[in-house]
Chain A
Amino acid sequence: MPGSGKSDDRRLGFKASQEVVVVAISVVLFVVFSATLNNFLSQGNIIAILKNVSILGTLAVGMGFVVVGRGIDLTMVAVMVVGVAFSIWVSTWGIDFTLAVICGAILVAAIGLFTGVMVAVAEVPPIFATLAIASSVYGSGRIVFASDVLYAPPDIAWLKFVGNGSVLGVPMSVVIFGAVAAMMGLFLRKTRFGRLVYATGDNPNAARTTGLPTRPIIVTQYVISALIAFTAGIIMTGLVTGIDTRLYNSSLIYDVLLVVVLGGIGLSGGQGGVRNVIAGTILVGILTNGMTILNFSYTSQNLIKSVILLGALAIDAIINPRDEQTSQSGDI
C-alpha cells in the first residue's frame, strides 16, 4: 500500500516528479501558446479547452480507476458508444428517453459486470479480456443498430442542458467531468473500498492472502468504469445531438490511456489518482488546442501524441520498474 514502506516512499517521490513534469510542460505550453497565438489566453478559449477535454477526461477518470487496481479497460469506448446507441434505439420504440437511458445504464453495468467476472474470476488477463469484450460489444451493437450514427430524440430538455447549459459560466460537460473526478477522488482517498483498490493494485496476491475481497473489488471497478464511460457518452450526445458508434475505430481509447499514463498512474497499479488524470487531461487539452490553432495536420497531431505516449510509457517503465515481485503477482 502507498506510504507503507521505504520503497513506496521513494516511489511516491518519483510519482510526484512525473506529475510535476507534466504540470510543468503544461505551464510551459500554456505560456508559449498565450504569447504566440491570438486569443489563446481568452476566457472563451480556456472554456473551449476544458469543454473539449471533458469527454476524454471523464473516460480517463474511469480508466485511471481501473489502472490503479492493476487492470486496464479497453472496453470503455465500445461501452460508451453502444450503451448510448442502445438507449437511443430503445427510445425509438416509443419509450421515454430518460427511461431508455436508464435501460442503457443497466446494460452497460451488466457488460462491466461480465468484464469484471472474466478478469477477476476467470482470471483472463485484463488487456486480452477487455480487448475481446470491446470487440464483441461493438460488433453486437453494429448488428442491432444498422447505422453508425444515431440521433437522440429532439427536445429532450435535460439532454440539451447537458450539451448547451452552464452553471456559473462553466459548461455542463465540464461540470459533469469535475463532478465525476471529484467523486472518484474522494472515493479512492476517503473510503475503505478506495484503499482496498490501491491494495489490490499494489499486490493482488498479497491482498488476497491477507483476506481482502479482491475479486468483488475488481468486478466493481469494471462496473464503475463502464458506468463512467456511459456518462461520457451522454455528455457527447448532449454536445453533438447524437452518438457516432464509429468512434470505436478511432484512436480515442489510446488517447484515454495517454492521459492516464501521462498523468503518472503507473500501469503496474497501486498508485496515482484523480489528480494525475487531471494533470494528463489538461496537458493533452492544451496540446490539442494549440495544434488545432496552429493548423497541424491530423497525421502530425497523431504523431506528436504517439511520441508523447511512448515517452510517458518509457518514463513509467523507468520509475516503476518491473521486478520479480511485480511480475509474479500478475501483469496487465
Chain B
Amino acid sequence: MKLFNKCLLAGMTALALLGAAQAAGAQETDQVGRAPYLESLKGKKVIFVPISQGMDLNQAWVMVWQRHAARYGFSLEVRDPNGDTNAGIRAMQGAIAEKPDLIIVQNPDVQTYARLLKQAQAAGIKVLQVNMQSATQTDSYVGNDWIEMGRLEMGELAKHCTGPNAVSHKVVWLAGVQTGAANIYMRTGIDEVLKANPELQLVSDQPADYISEKARQITETVLQQHPDLCGIMGIWDNAEVGAGAAVAAAGKQDQVTIVTNGAGAATGCESIKNGLLDVIFNFNAPIQGEIAAQQISELLQHPDRKAGSEKTIFFGPITRVDKTNATGRNCWKPEDIK
C-alpha cells in the first residue's frame, strides 16, 4: 500500500508540476499588449464618408478596412454621397450626430467640410482624413504628398521637354477639380519645377474635372494650337486616357509624353500597355489602405486621448510606373485585395 501511496503522490506531484509549467508557458506566449489591443478595437464604430465609392482607390481602401474591421471586431460603415457635395455634408452631419469612435473622411475640397471637421472633434470624435486634406487639420492624414506629386509629374515632363532633342518646351496641366486639395497642392509642386526650368512653357492649364471626354476635348483643341506639344500631365489615370485618345487620334504618341497619377489599378497599367499613357505615379491604394488601417487601430487604442490633441501625417509611397514595370503589385485588381 505504501508503494501505491508513494506512486499516487508522485503522480499527483508530476501532474501539478505539469499544470504549473503549462500555466507558466501560457503566460510566456501571451503577446505583450495583444489582449488590451484586441479589447480596445472590439465593438468600436467607424464611419467613412468618401467622395464616391465608384472610384478605384475608394474600393481598394474599403476592402482593406473591411478586412481589418472583421479581424478585430469593430464596425465600418460607408456613407457614400456619390460625388454630391451636399449629400456629403449631410452624411458628415449624420455621422457627427451618431458619435462614432472615429470618422474617416475623403474631402471633396479644402473648404466644404472644414467646419464640420472642427465640430466632430469638438464633439470628441477623432477624424482621419484620407488622400484629400481639408483646411482643418485633424487627428491624422493618410495619403499622398501632393506637392511632391506635382513635382514628380512636372519633373518628368521637364526631363522630356527641356533636353536638346525635345520637340518643344510646351507642356499642359490637365487639372481635376480646382478646389480639391490634390489640385491646389500639386500646383505648388508644379510651380516649383516651372520656376527651376524657366524654358518650360505651360501652354494650357484647364480642368478636365476627372472626366476622360473633357480631357480628350481639351487635348484635341490644344493640339491644334500647339502641334509641337511635348507633354501633358494630369491627376487621375482614368481621366487622362481621354488625353491619350486625342494624342493617339492625332498620331502624336511618339511626340507627346503623358504623365499622370493613379491608385495603381490594373486599368491604369492597361492604358500604359496600349499606349494611351506613358507614366503613372502610382500611390497604390491598397498600400495606402493598409497604412490607414494601422492608423485606425492607433486612434481606437487611445480613447482617453482627446480628439485633435495630436496630429499625425502619413505620406504613402509613390512608385513611378511605365511600360517596364506595369505588372504585379503595381497593377492590382479588386479580386487581388479581397
Contacts and interface: CB of A to CB of B under 8 A. Distances in A.
Interface of A: 37-39, 42, 44-45, 48, 51-52, 55, 142, 145-149, 151, 154, 163-164, 236, 239-242, 244-247, 249-250, 288-289, 292-293, 295, 297-299
Given A142-B82, A147-B59, A240 B213 contact: yes
A261 to B, nearest CB: 22
Contact of B54 (A45, A142, A250): A142
Contacts of B16: none
A44 to B, nearest CB: 5
Nearest to A245: B54
B221 to A, nearest CB: 5
B197 interface: no
Contact of B238 (A145, A239, A244): A244
B267 interface: yes
B245 A44 contact: no
A241 B275 CA distance: 12
Contact of A244 (B56, B178, B213, B217): B213
Interface string B212-227: 1101111011111101
Interface in B203-237: 204-207, 209-213, 215-218, 220-225, 227
B151 to A, nearest CB: 22
Interface of A is mostly: helix
Contact of B212 (A48, A242, A289, A293): A242
B52 A48 contact: no
A292 B56 contact: no
With a 10 A CB-CB cut-off, give which of B52, B204, B238, B248 has the most chain A CB atoms. Answer: B238
Given A142-B82, A244-B238, A147 B225 contact: no
B105 interface: no
Contacts, number: 104
Interface of B: 52, 54-56, 59, 82-84, 178, 204-207, 209-213, 215-218, 220-225, 227, 238-239, 241-242, 245, 248-249, 267, 270, 274, 276, 334
A239 B213 CA distance: 8
Contacts of B221: 45, 48, 52, 289, 292-293
A71 to B, nearest CB: 26
Given A48-B224, A244-B238, A245-B54, A236 B213 contact: yes
Given A239-B245, A240-B213, A293 B225 contact: yes
Nearest to A44: B224
Given A147-B59, A240-B216, A293-B222, 15 more contacts: A39-B225, A44-B223, A45-B225, A52-B221, A163-B245, A239-B242, A241-B241, A244-B239, A247-B211, A249-B82, A249-B84, A250-B209, A292-B206, A293-B225, A297-B207
A146 B225 contact: no
Given A42-B224, A240-B212, A249-B84, A295 B206 contact: yes
Nearest to A249: B83
B55 A148 contact: yes
B83 A38 contact: no
23 contacts: A38-B225, A39-B224, A44-B227, A45-B224, A55-B213, A142-B82, A147-B54, A148-B52, A149-B54, A151-B270, A163-B245, A163-B249, A164-B248, A239-B216, A241-B245, A245-B54, A246-B52, A246-B83, A246-B211, A249-B83, A289-B221, A292-B206, A295-B206
